Chain A
Amino acid sequence: DGGITQSPKYLFRKEGQNVTLSCEQNLNHDAMYWYRQDPGQGLRLIYYSQIVNDFQKGDIAEGYSVSREKKESFPLTVTSAQKNPTAFYLCASSIPRGGGDNEQFFGPGTRLTVL
């Protein structure tokens, strides 16, 4: 079945440690996205990538980094510079269409807790 996988479902880290969240898709989509979700805040865009080896900052990129070395993979690293890393992280992908038709498909999410 085609879809997006995120692993692990739950992740615990000590404060000051970097942590990498995995996102893999087999939908053959060019575009991939990372969102952060906090209660009452909706979805906030962290980074997105429209093509391999290229990515752009979203609204809240500070303290995060990404790479896009393969079309199917878009890992997110939460660095120690991120002040409040505890959150629910969602990965999504889409066929990029410049006309605004950017229907996104979402993974199941990773809940990161920093202790």
Chain B
Amino acid sequence: AQSVTQPDIHITVSEGASLELRCNYSYGATPYLFWYVQSPGQGLQLLLKYFSGDTLVQGIKGFEAEFKRSQSSFNLRKPSVHWSDAAEYFCAVGLPGYSTLTFGKGTMLLVSP
């Protein structure tokens, strides 16, 4: 079955430290890949997306993600986390021929002082 996995339910990072959130997918073809962020009680905001080309994608708020076909992964990174980055992060995939996205269950990021 097709799926999107975010293995970490919660991650705690010290302010100023680097961050990597993991996302793996299981699809036969290379999907379209997205990362969204959700602050508590709010809607989702797109951070970045990958369709093709350069496998390192830059997004908003200093985030980047790297697509690795061999590992079926699309991990989100940030070199230095700020307290305002505390939120829930969702990875999502879109497939050709489908008009919907499939979301992972999310990773909650906590930032410690």
Number of interface residues of B (CB under 8 A): 27
- A107 contacts the other chain (CB 8 A): yes
Please state if A102 and B99 are interface contacts (CB–CB under 8 Å): yes
A41 and B88 CA atoms in complex are apart in Å by 12
Binary B-proximity of A94-115 (CB < 8 A = 1, otherwise 0): 0010111111111111010000
- A90 contacts the other chain (CB 8 A): yes
A41 and B43 CA atoms in complex are apart in Å by 15
Chain A neighbourhood of B98, CB < 8 A: 100, 102
What is the CB-to-nearest-CB distance from A56 to chain B, in angstroms, rounded to a whole number? Answer: 8
A45 and B97 CA atoms in complex are apart in Å by 17
Chain A neighbourhood of B41, CB < 8 A: 88, 109, 111
Which of B's residues lie within 8 Å of A, judged by CB?
A: 9, 31-32, 34, 36, 41-46, 49, 51, 90, 93-101, 103-106
Which of A's residues lie within 8 Å of B, judged by CB?
A: 4, 6, 31, 33, 40-43, 45, 48, 50, 58, 88, 90, 92, 96, 98-109, 111
